[in-house]
A = this chain, B = another copy of it.
Amino acid sequence: MGAPAIPGVMKRGRPRSEQVERAILRAAGDLLTEHGLAAMTIEDVAARAGVAKTSIYRRWSTKGTLALDAFLADFLGSQPLPDTGNLENDLTAALRAWVRTVRGTPTGRALAELIAQAQSDPDLAVAWRERVVGPARAQHRKILEHAVARGEIPDTSDVEVLMDLLFGTAYHRLLQGHLPLTDRFVRRVVAVIVAGAKAGAAAPPTP
């Protein structure tokens, strides 16, 4: 209590209230869930949190980065790292967990709207890649590296492409909305990728 995280750079003046921070994130999360990102305004968040607008702007520069923090509070940890000793099972479990989290849920809509917002908000785009895309891919990379270690797929496989195939396909249906994210979809996507990877198609051709 009151002890500085880093002695010597102790801040002077009144410290920022953690309670204010929590109230803002909670209000933003609620509004994100109830009405979506596009309909969420900073003024609404402030009113709902019982906080002044300036207390929000002091912490976040754009609506997108605020929404990202509110989103991560709910989203982090919902994506497991399966390790069954079988690539197809692991990928199926990972994609199924993702589908369960996003299909027809406020989380799914928030996910889509955050990606949308990032197309015109460079700050959010950077934060999104660093705090969502990066960590998620690190998880999925492990699944593929385990498969390489087991000899299921060639060690020259382009794991980045394989990850793009798996989740790019799923994000496609989420964002375009042309077809539903069914379990059959999950199984077939995984089956094609695993078959292709095992055939060495994700590796450089050996002439």
A residues whose Cβ falls under 8 Å from a Cβ of B: 36-39, 112-113, 115-120, 125, 128-129, 133-134, 137, 158, 160-162, 164-165, 167-173, 175-179, 185, 188-189, 191-197, 199, 201-202
Contacts and interface: CB of A to CB of B under 8 A. Distances in A.
A177 B116 contact: no
Given A116-B117, A117-B116, A195-B196, A161 B189 contact: yes
A178 B119 contact: no
Contact of A165 (B36, B137, B165, B175): B165
- How many protomers of this protein does the assembly include? 2
Instruction: List 6 tightest A-B contacts by C-beta distance, closest first.
Output: A168-B172, A192-B196, A38-B120, A116-B116, A195-B201, A168-B169
A178 B134 CA distance: 8
Given A120-B36, A167-B172, A196 B191 contact: yes
Contacts of A137: 178
18 contacts: A37-B120, A38-B119, A38-B120, A115-B176, A116-B119, A129-B177, A133-B178, A134-B178, A164-B185, A165-B193, A168-B169, A172-B172, A175-B175, A188-B201, A191-B201, A192-B196, A193-B196, A195-B201
The winner among A120, A188, A195 for most chain B CB atoms within 10 A is: A188
Contact of A113 (B38, B119, B194): B119
B178 A129 contact: yes
Given A129-B178, A171-B172, 10 more contacts: A115-B119, A119-B175, A129-B176, A129-B177, A168-B170, A168-B171, A168-B172, A169-B169, A171-B175, A191-B202
Contacts of A201: 188, 191-192, 194-196
A152 to B, nearest CB: 15
B160 A164 contact: no
A38 B188 CA distance: 37
A124 B179 CA distance: 17
